[in-house]
Chain A
C-alpha cells in the first residue's frame, strides 16, 4: 500500500535512565576512558530538563507516527556487540525472526517481527545487486529499545529490525546507506500494508574513547539544517572520514531513512546536547 511515515531519534541510554543517581553512575563508568571529561557533570536540574525536552521531542515523533497509522515499523539501528562480534560483522542485516525481545534496566520489550517484509527487502536487494545479510534471531538492545520505549511502548504492530555496521571498520559509505534506503522505499511503496521507518542513533558522540564528552554541535546543526531543507541526498556525497571525525558514525543509520524519504523536508527537528556524551537529535518527516 504505502510508505507512510519516517522518523529518526537518538538512542543514548541516559535518555531512559533516571536523572540523578542512575545517570551519574552510568557516566562514571564511561569516564574511565577519559577521567578529565567527568568534570563537566550537569546538575540534577539540567538532567531533568534534558529528559523533559527529550520526552517532548519523542512525543512529537510518536504523534506523527500514530497519525500515519502504520501496520509495521522498520527500525534501523547499529548492533553494539550483542548479536555480532569480530568473527562475523554484517555491513547490513535484516531480521527474519518470528519475534524479538530485549531488556533495558527494569524495562522489558517484546515485539512480533515482520519477517515477510524482511524477506521482500532481501529479495528486492538481491535483484538490484544489494546483497544484505540476514538471520533468524536477534536480541534487542538500547539502540532499539530506548526509542521504542517512547515511540512504540505497546507492541501493537510488528517491527522489523535492520542493522547497519556503524562501529567496526570498515563501515559502509553514506551513499551505500542511502541506496539501501531507496531499496526499502521501493519495497514499501509496493507493499500491501502501511510501512513506517525509524532510524536511531547519534548524533555526535565518542563512546568508549578518550574523546568521550566531546560533542560536535556545529556538525550536528548542519546535518539537521540539511534535513530541514530536504537536501539529504547531498549527504550521500559525504566521506566516512568527515562523518566519523565529528563522532557521527551512527548517522549512517539515519542515512538509510534519508534514502527512503528522498527529497522530503524534515517537518520537525529537535536538538539537545546532553553535556556528557551525546548530541541528542530527533527528526520527523511528513511523507
Chain B
C-alpha cells in the first residue's frame, strides 16, 4: 500500500509552519486532514521514527516526527534543511 499520505504529513511537518503549529497543539486534528491508516496514526502519535519507517515512511522524513517531541523541540536539526 502507498505511504503517500504518511510521507506527505511528515513533509508538511518539515516545510509548512502552519502544519507544525497545528500538530504541536492538536496532533489528532492535524493528522485528521490526511488519509492515514489506523496503524500510521498510532505510530505518529507514538512519535517513533523507526516504526514510521517500517510502515513505509522515508527514513529522512520519519525523523521529522521528533519535531513534536519535547526532548528535541529546539534541536539544531530544525534550523537547517
A residues in contact (CB < 8 Å) with B? 13, 17, 22, 25-26, 28-30, 32-33, 80-82, 85-87, 102-106, 139, 141-142, 167-168, 207-210
Alpha-carbon distance between A29 and B60 when the two chains are bound, in angstroms = 11
B interface, over-half SS: helix
Name the residue of chain B whose CB is nearest to the CB of A27.
B77
Contact yes or no, A210 B66, CB < 8 A: no
Contact yes or no, A208 B63, CB < 8 A: yes
Given contacts A32-B49, A32-B50, A86-B8, contact A81 B79 (CB under 8 A): no
Please name all residues of chain A whose beta carbon is closer than 8 Å to the beta carbon of B59 when the two chains form the complex: 33, 207-209
Contact yes or no, A86 B80, CB < 8 A: no
B residues in contact (CB < 8 Å) with A? 3-4, 7-8, 11, 14-15, 49-50, 53, 58-63, 66, 72, 75-77, 79-81
Contact yes or no, A81 B62, CB < 8 A: no
Please name all residues of chain A whose beta carbon is closer than 8 Å to the beta carbon of B77 when the two chains form the complex: 25-26, 29
Alpha-carbon distance between A216 and B55 when the two chains are bound, in angstroms = 27
Contact yes or no, B76 A22, CB < 8 A: yes
Contact yes or no, A25 B75, CB < 8 A: yes
A-B contact pairs, 8 of them (CB 8 A): A26-B76, A29-B77, A81-B14, A85-B8, A87-B4, A102-B81, A139-B81, A207-B60
Tell me the smallest distance from the CB of B77 to a CB of chain A, in Å: 5
Contact yes or no, A142 B76, CB < 8 A: no
Tell me the smallest distance from the CB of B40 to a CB of chain A, in Å: 14
Contact yes or no, A208 B75, CB < 8 A: no
Please name all residues of chain A whose beta carbon is closer than 8 Å to the beta carbon of B8 when the two chains form the complex: 85-87
Other-chain contact of A104, B50, B62, B75, B80 (Cβ < 8 Å): B80
Contact yes or no, B14 A141, CB < 8 A: no
Please name all residues of chain A whose beta carbon is closer than 8 Å to the beta carbon of B3 when the two chains form the complex: 86
Other A-B pairs, 12, CB within 8 Å; known A25-B75, A168-B58: A17-B76, A26-B75, A26-B77, A29-B77, A32-B49, A32-B63, A80-B60, A82-B15, A85-B7, A86-B4, A102-B81, A209-B53
Please name all residues of chain B whose beta carbon is closer than 8 Å to the beta carbon of A81 when the two chains form the complex: 11, 14-15, 58, 60-61
Other-chain contact of B80, A30, A87, A105 (Cβ < 8 Å): A105
Alpha-carbon distance between A81 and B11 when the two chains are bound, in angstroms = 7
Alpha-carbon distance between A34 and B81 when the two chains are bound, in angstroms = 21
